[in-house]
Amino acid sequence: MSKICAVDASSYEINTVQKAIDRLFEIIELNSLVKPNYKVLIKPNLLMKRKPAEATTTHPTIILAIVNRLKALGVDNIVIADSPAGLYTKQALKDIYKVCGMQDVSIKSGAKLNTNVEYDTKYIKEGKACKTFNIIKPIHDADFIISVGKVKTHGMTTMSGAVKNIFGSIPGLQKPEMHCRFNVLDQFSEMLVDLALCVKPNISIMDGIVCMEGDGPSGGTPKTCNFIAGSQNPFELDVFLAKKIGLEPKSVPTIVASSERGLCDISGNDLDFIGDEDALKPINDFKLPKSVSVDFVNFVPKIFRRPSNFVLNKFLVSRPVINTDKCVGCGKCAESCPQNTIEIINGKAVIDYRKCIKCFCCHEMCPVKAIDMKRRLNI
């Protein structure tokens, strides 16, 4: 059983964040895990080109504080890398690093920003849904991986936590391909657990100073929560995060999949929570995505889901709906759709629902928040 640590952090001011990160790493015992000669990979959530204040991506001050701590321990070979949604090219990475504040982190700290867009294939024997993954090269080649996600809601997986953050190990547009291959939520969640076991982050950190509530992971609203959490076990950390934002862990499909494999205690009763009282205390008014505001589907036992899938999918499960007043016809939604079910017609996005798998990649990638989540039965 790993320690799950949560510490107070009242702002993104560097001294405040540095104290919180130093304390968190002291509890997790980073100094006994990492060695000066290690090649350390820091993997933030850099979903898309959004400024830090929009709470879509990991805040750069968190990354800077982690780099500072590593350097204090004598580690010099530090690389920051992620595979954002969309194209995985050198120019796309440079643009995202600049807008998301990682370029400034590199300038201040000397940490390298990855621009290598190659990948390697990795096999995982214990994979349940998937046994081989293409992993971006800097993650594949690292000696030590620190995953640093952003606490957010998620239209498909309910919560974007430590396990979901590892999806950024898959290169660029291969992520929509994974959505297409694993187009049922249970299968997709099993695949995410397989991927987390494959990548094996040594430490998982979650930025909860300002989270995203509502229609995350990109269309929600920032919510100040003032905490940073971390653990050596991403599966157990997600149980804490679910409870922290007021979710039943059994309503988060990745936690259910992890629990069924014995990777975490879904009740959380046997987990070792350490940290500050406020940081460990649940948040009672955290808004969930419209897609999961009725949790009926998640609580239906798996054995009964398939016979009722038609009714569930047609009436009770949210689907993406284009807000034509906001849509600018940029095509980002069509580019990200794993099923190629979106066309731009007369300057507006149009969805063919016969092929839609409700992965919400389109909602995730829309730069103007023109895609809503709506159920046909509003109950």
> Going by C-beta distance under 8 Å and a sequence separation of 6 or more, which residues neighbour residue 141?
39, 120
Q: Is residue 379 part of a domain?
A: no
Q: Report the pLDDT value the prediction gives residue 294, as an integer from 0 to 100.
A: 42
Q: Report the pLDDT value the prediction gives residue 99, as an integer from 0 to 100.
A: 99
Q: Specify the amino acid at residue 371.
A: I
Which of 253, 280, 307 delimits the end of a domain? 280
- pLDDT(379) > 50: no
Higher-confidence position of 109 and 303 = 109
Q: Is residue 309 part of a domain?
A: no
Which of 262, 280, 298 delimits the end of a domain? 280
Helical axes 174-181 vs 185-199, angle rounded to 10°: 130
Which residues partner with 43 through β-bridges?
Answer: 147
Give me the domain span that covers residue 228. 3-280
Taking residues 328-344, report their average pLDDT. Answer: 94
Assess whether 258 and 321 both reside in one domain.
no
Assess whether 132 and 46 both reside in one domain.
yes
Assess whether 333 and 199 both reside in one domain.
no
Taking residues 74-97, report their average pLDDT. Answer: 97
In whole angstroms, what is the distance from residue 287 CA to residue 289 CA? 7
- pLDDT(316) > 70: no
Which residue's entry shows tokens 């076990």? 233
In whole angstroms, what is the distance from residue 271 CA to residue 262 CA? 13
Q: Is residue 324 part of a domain?
A: yes
Assess whether 36 and 177 both reside in one domain.
yes
Structurally, the chain folds into a number of domains equal to 2
Q: Report the pLDDT value the prediction gives residue 301, as an integer from 0 to 100.
A: 55
pLDDT band at 41 (very low <50, low <70, confident <90, very high): very high
Q: Is residue 290 part of a domain?
A: no
Assess whether 347 and 238 both reside in one domain.
no
Q: Report the pLDDT value the prediction gives residue 210, as an integer from 0 to 100.
A: 99
- How long, in residues, is the chain? 379
Assess whether 243 and 326 both reside in one domain.
no
**pTM for this prediction:** 0.89
Q: Is residue 308 part of a domain?
A: no
The mean-pLDDT minimum among 65-74, 131-140, 152-161, 355-364 falls in 355-364
Which residue's entry shows tokens 């995730």? 364
For residues 234 and 272, is the Cβ–Cβ distance under 8 A? no
Assess whether 178 and 258 both reside in one domain.
yes
In whole angstroms, what is the distance from residue 356 CA to residue 338 CA? 9
For residues 197 and 145, is the Cβ–Cβ distance under 8 A? no
Which of 256, 280, 304 delimits the end of a domain? 280
> Going by C-beta distance under 8 Å and a sequence separation of 6 or more, which residues neighbour residue 140?
119, 120, 122
Assess whether 353 and 224 both reside in one domain.
no
For residues 298 and 250, is the Cβ–Cβ distance under 8 A? yes
Q: Is residue 338 part of a domain?
A: yes
Assess whether 346 and 260 both reside in one domain.
no
The mean-pLDDT minimum among 298-302, 315-319, 357-361, 374-378 falls in 298-302
Assess whether 321 and 262 both reside in one domain.
no
Assess whether 103 and 200 both reside in one domain.
yes
Query: Residue 52 to residues 69, 90, 182, 344: CA-CA distances in angstroms?
Result: 21, 21, 31, 30
Tens digit of pLDDT for each residue in 154-210? Answer: 999 999 999 999 999 999 999 999 999 999 999 999 999 999 999 999 999 999 999
Q: What is the CATH number of the domain that holds 328?
A: 3.30.70.20
Q: What is the CATH number of the domain that holds 166?
A: 3.40.50.11440
Assess whether 340 and 257 both reside in one domain.
no
Listed residue (222, 221, 360, 342) closest to 291, CA to CA: 360
